Amino acid sequence: MRDAVRCCLALALFAAACKTPLPVPVPILAPLPRLSDCPGRLRPTQDIEGDWVIHEQLRVTGGGVDESYALVVQKTGPKLVLLGLTPFGAKAFSVVQIGTQTWAESYLGPATAVPPENVLRDLHRALFLTVEDPALEPRAVTRDAEGAVHVAATACGYEAVLAPVSATPLPAAKPPG
C-alpha cells in the first residue's frame, strides 16, 4: 500500500512539474554602437594664434553611429578647451589641451558613442592642420559651398561634418593698475 501511495504522489508531483510555466527569457540587448579611438595629430596649442571662442555643429556618422553635438571651443593662451553638448544642451564631454597633452572627460558615462579625443583630432584636422599627405594624417578634408568641413576618417570607419556657427575673438586682458 505504501508503494502505491508513493507512486501516486510521485505521479502527482511529476504532473505538477510538467504544468509549471517556464521562466520568461530575458532579452539580450546588443551593446550600443561606439566608434573606436582614431589616431591623429594635434597641433601644439602654442602654435595656434590668438585667443578666441568658436561655435560649431558636429555630426559624426559611420560604424552604426549617427551622433550630433554642438561644440564650443575656447582658446586662451596655451590652453584649448573643447566642450561637446547634446542636442538638448546637456554636457556630453570635454577635452582640455595644453601643448599636445590632453585630458578628456565624458559626462554621459562610458557609453559615449564618439570618443571626445576623436572630436578634438577631427577639429584639429579641419581647422589647424593643412597636411594633405595621408601618410602623415589619416583624415581627409573637403569643404562644401556652405562652409561645412567634411573630415573623412576612412581607416577608422566614420565621417565628421563640422559646420561653423560663430567665431569671436576674445578681448585682450587689461593690465592691472
Kindly indicate the confidence band of residue 169, based on its pLDDT and cuts at 50, 70 and 90.
Answer: confident
Q: What pLDDT, on a 0 to 100 scale, did the predictor assign at position 30?
A: 66
pLDDT tens per residue across span 2-45: 666 566 666 665 666 666 566 676 676 667 788 888 988 899 99
Contacts of 163 (CB under 8 A, 6+ apart): 56, 57, 58, 146, 147, 148, 149
- pTM, full prediction: 0.78
pLDDT tens per residue across span 118-128: 999 999 999 98
Which residue did the predictor score with more confidence, 135 or 143? Answer: 143
Q: Which residue, 92, 48, 47, is CA-closest to 74? A: 48
Measured from the Cβ of residue 119, the count of other Cβ atoms closer than 10 Å reads: 25
Q: Take residue 143 and report the three cell numbers written for it.
A: 569643404
Which residue did the predictor score with more confidence, 164 or 23? Answer: 164
Mean pLDDT of the chain: 85
